[in-house]
């Protein structure tokens, strides 16, 4: 039982389409994860900068709980 050229091309087209759909899904998921990670990193950086600023302000108030550097 031999498969015709047209059937082979149809199978190839279906596999190729599935491959493209999988790649599209992976690219979208990766972009989504990168966006989430960027947002988390920006929030962390903002908190970290605020922490540094608060620490500098606290160090300048000569708090008895802080050791001078």
Euclidean distance between CA atoms 43 and 49, whole angstroms: 10
Question: Can you give the pLDDT at residue 8?
Answer: 96
Euclidean distance between CA atoms 5 and 10, whole angstroms: 9
Question: Can you give the pLDDT at residue 63?
Answer: 57
Question: Can you give the pLDDT at residue 60?
Answer: 73
Question: Can you give the pLDDT at residue 68?
Answer: 56
> pTM here?
0.59
pLDDT in tens, 1-37: 788 999 999 999 999 999 999 999 999 999 999 999 9
The alpha carbons of the chain give a radius of gyration, in whole angstroms, of: 29
């Amino acid at each position: 039982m031999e498969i015709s050229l047209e059937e082979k091309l149809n199978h190839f087209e279906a596999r190729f389409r599935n491959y493209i759909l999988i790649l599209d899904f992976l690219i979208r998921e990766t972009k989504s994860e990168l966006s989430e990670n960027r947002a988390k990193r920006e929030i962390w950086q903002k908190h970290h900068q605020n922490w540094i600023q608060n620490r500098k302000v606290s160090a300048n108030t000569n708090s008895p709980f802080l050791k001078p550097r």
